[in-house]
Amino acid sequence: MASPPETARPQAPGVHPRPFWSVAPASDRQAGDAVVSNFALHWFPAKALKDSLAWRYSLWLGTISAALLLLLTLSGLPLLFLHVPSVERAYGSVKDIEYVVTFGYWIRSVHRFAAHFMVAAVFLHLARVFLTGAYKNGSGGNQHREWNWVIGVGMLLVTLFLSFTGYLLPWDQLAYWAVTVGTNIASAVPVVGARIRELLLGGRTIDQPTLIRFYALHVVVLPGALAALFAYHMWRIRKDGGLASADRASAPTASVEVPAGASKTYTLLGIARGTGPTIRASSVEARDTTVNSVPDLTRRAAIVVLGTVAFVAILSVFVHSPLEEPASALVTPNPAKAPWYFLWLQEIVTDTTIRIGSFTVNGAFVGGVLLPGLLVALMVAWPWLDRSPAAAAGRWFPRTRRTQNLVFLLLVLLVLALTFVGTFCRGPYWRLYWPWQAWPDLPTRI
Amino acid sequence: MSDKPDKPKDRREFLVRAGIGAGLVALGTQALASLRSLVPNVSYDSPTTVKLGPPGEFPDGMKFLPDQRLFVFREGTVFHAISAVCTHLGCTVRAEALSQVETRTVEGSPLKVTHRFLCPCHGSRYTGDGENVAGPAPRPLAWYHLSVAADDGQLVVDLARPVPRSFRLAVA
């Protein structure tokens, strides 16, 4: 078929002529095009405020979390082919991954380290957002950053549940007793508890239906949920006018008259609804406060992502992942410890059985359901309870939010202290020992 | 639809709302049906009534049966069984022999107490009769019903039938 001459063909609007972007754009026009017309970059703004890119403000913890999620997805793929989700064969298949499969131990370690670091990174990201009041709406109209905070809390919970479902899959002792304790906590929920437990286990005892349920949750349901929340999280950041620190940088007080540009054919891709500050051309496009996203934003994002990948990949070469004995309903390990990020919960379920006269409330309910539930509810509701001025948004430790930041840090400190006690000070029968104290020699089996 | 405060203004609006409503109801029902499919209708769990072996083969004192997570105690011809499932969060407790045997009165009946029970998960402690004395355990360990099988005389435990702590099975 004869094609019409090149010039006569109508151009598809806004599709970048090059498959990737120009790493070193020759002009602002090219830099803008590199973002707006490019599939890989279209979710970035064409221009970014220098303040949003500052290392010291965001610490790039969200990007690190996303990089870890990417790494988890990629390292999960080969594991998906190698792991057999059956109670007879799961342990053997993980043992094969560890000791037989070429590079298997490395892939498993990457997956495990990325998971551990992701719990930490997502939590630190949440702490950063809290301490900088970044869930607060700044000077822009129609911002709803509080909802992105709620989404973020949801993503932290999904991350934790992904970790929980993940460490069950080797079907070793850690897995078996974690399911036992975890699902018994679920059954401590009043009225519907027993039903929830049965739904999670696929029966009344831990068996094949349990493993396949947690497997499906781990490889399909939860990653899917996280992907959807992640996409919405990113979209909301753009719709709320970028990072909270951008509000300040682009506040009208900082506005500088910009001389009319010679060829200003681009603008921000995403525009805050109403009169968000980010669309005030006077500051957002001021040359001293903004940079082109390509290459300034892409360069830093690449440094963070590649740095995270390199760190985890190299660490995983040297540190192998543990595998406990095969799951056995016959013997509970002594002590039976949850992974570090659940140890503070293990501590509080230990300490919260309440006795009033002959009336007893199980710590499984108080420490496993009530307190964590209250904590999550408080976190979710906090943006509506925080009455500090809008000017406190996007700053580290503003004076007006000193009390709430202190309370938050105290709670974090408490959780860390409980984690420390659980990790280093608990020995056989969950008794307290100093970290340097030797544990008594107890028979491992009865 | 009809009980909404803002009445549909005309037939077209009513039909639009009815359509959207029907769609939502259909989606909701299908979601519930999918969720219901995950609730098991048949239990493949191991049976709760288990033959444990001839009573004569049990040693005097305590025997731990890991498969049933059960301690069986024998004192001459008298048997009783205590669950090894911690009442806090379901870990298997471990028995620790006492340095000296003591006799206690438990719910009116004398009981020779030879062990105590400790949970490795959260540190609950129980006395030899299953009474919770320390740690987060909210209830005593369960005692289960024992009987002798009519056909072959084996000891039978019913793990679905808790009994008071005065329960004893005397085997002739």
**Cross-chain residue pair B120–A181, CB shorter than 8 Å:** no
Q: How far is B9 from chain A (nearest CA, A)?
A: 31
Mutate to test the interface with A, among B44, B122, B131 (most CBs of A within 10 A): B122
Which positions ≥6 away from A217 have C-beta within 8 Å? A161, A165
Point out the residue among A330, A335, A364 whose CB comes nearest to the CB of B88: A364
Separation of alpha carbons B114 and B98, rounded Å: 6
Q: Among partner residues B45, B64, B69, which is closest to A204 by beta-carbon distance?
A: B45
* Residue among B43, B69, B136 whose CB faces A353 most closely: B136
Query: Which residue in B89, B119, B132 has the most chain A C-beta atoms within 10 A of its own C-beta, making it the best mutation to test that interface?
Result: B89
Give which of B90, B160, B167 is closest to B122, Cα–Cα: B90
For residues A332-354, average pLDDT:
86
Tell me, what's the pLDDT at B8? 53
Q: Work out the average pLDDT over A346-358.
A: 84
Q: Do B120 and A352 touch (CB under 8 A)?
A: no
In degrees to the nearest 10, what's the CA dihedral of A406, A409, A415, A419?
A: -130
Higher pLDDT, A113 or A446: A113
Q: Using a CB cutoff of 8 Å and minimum separation of 24, what contacts does A127-130 make?
A: A127/A408, A127/A412, A128/A58, A128/A59, A128/A61, A130/A382, A130/A405, A130/A408
Question: At A284, is the pLDDT very low, low, confident or very high (cuts 50, 70, 90)?
Answer: low
Q: Which residues of chain B fall below pLDDT 70?
A: 1-8
**Which stretch of DSSP H or E encloses residue A146?**
helix A145-166
pLDDT at A265 over 90: no
Reported as a pLDDT band with limits 50, 70 and 90, residue A156 is very high
- Residue A173 CB neighbour total at 10 angstroms: 19
Percentage of residues in chain A with pLDDT exceeding 90? 47
Taking the C-alpha atoms of residue A58 and residue A126, their distance in angstroms, rounded to an integer, is 11
Q: What is the pLDDT of residue A251?
A: 60
Q: Do the Cβ atoms of B120 and B138 come closer than 8 Å?
A: no
User: What does pLDDT average to over chain A?
Assistant: 84
pLDDT in tens, A385-412: 999 988 888 889 999 999 999 999 999 9
pLDDT of residue A276: 40
Buried b (16+ CB within 10 A) or exposed e, A265-280: ebebbbebeeebbbbb
Report the range of poorest mean pLDDT among A138-152, A274-288, A317-331.
Answer: A274-288
Please give the pLDDT value at position A132. 93
Burial class (CB in 10 A: 0-12, 13-18, 19+), A214: buried
Give the pLDDT mean for A169-177: 90
Give the pLDDT confidence score for residue A2 in this predicted structure: 47
pLDDT at A438 exceeding the cut of 50: yes
pTM: 0.87
Write out A27-60 in H/E/C secondary structure. Answer: CHHHHHHHHHCCCCCCCCCCEEEHHHHCHHHHCC
Residue B132, SS3? Answer: strand
Question: In chain B, what residues touch A352 (CB-CB under 8 Å)?
Answer: 136
Q: Is residue B21 within 8 angstroms of chain A, CB to CB? A: no
Sequence letter at residue A23: V
Distance CA B163, CA B146 (A): 9
DSSP A59-85: TTHHHHHHHHHHHHHHHHHHHHHH---
CB-neighbour burial class of residue A174 (10 A; exposed 0-12, middle 13-18, buried 19+): buried
DSSP letters for B19-55: HHHHHHHHHHHHHHHHHHTTS-SS--SPPSEEEEE-G
Q: What is the mean pLDDT of residues A263-292?
A: 52
Contact B66 A330 (CB under 8 A): yes
Mean pLDDT along residues A75-83: 97
Quick one: pLDDT at residue A20? 60
Question: Residue A352 in contact with residue B138, Cβ under 8 Å?
Answer: no
pLDDT at A116 over 90: yes
The C-alpha atoms of residue A237 and residue B20 are separated, in whole angstroms, by: 31
Determine whether the interchain pair A431/B40 forms a contact, defined as Cβ–Cβ distance below 8 Å: no
Among B93, B41, B25, residue whose Cα is nearest residue A446:
B93
Asked if B89 is an interface residue toward chain A (Cβ–Cβ < 8 A), one would say yes
Partners of residue B122 in chain A, C-beta under 8 Å: 346, 349-350, 363, 430
**Chain A residues with CB inside 8 Å of B65's CB?**
none
Alpha helices in A202-334 (DSSP H): 208-216, 222-239, 244-249, 281-284, 298-318
User: Could you count the other beta carbons within 10 Å of the beta carbon of residue A243?
Assistant: 26
Q: Which residues are B111's β-sheet partners?
A: B104
Measured between CA atoms, how close is A377 to chain B, in angstroms? 24
> Given this model, what pLDDT does residue B98 score?
86
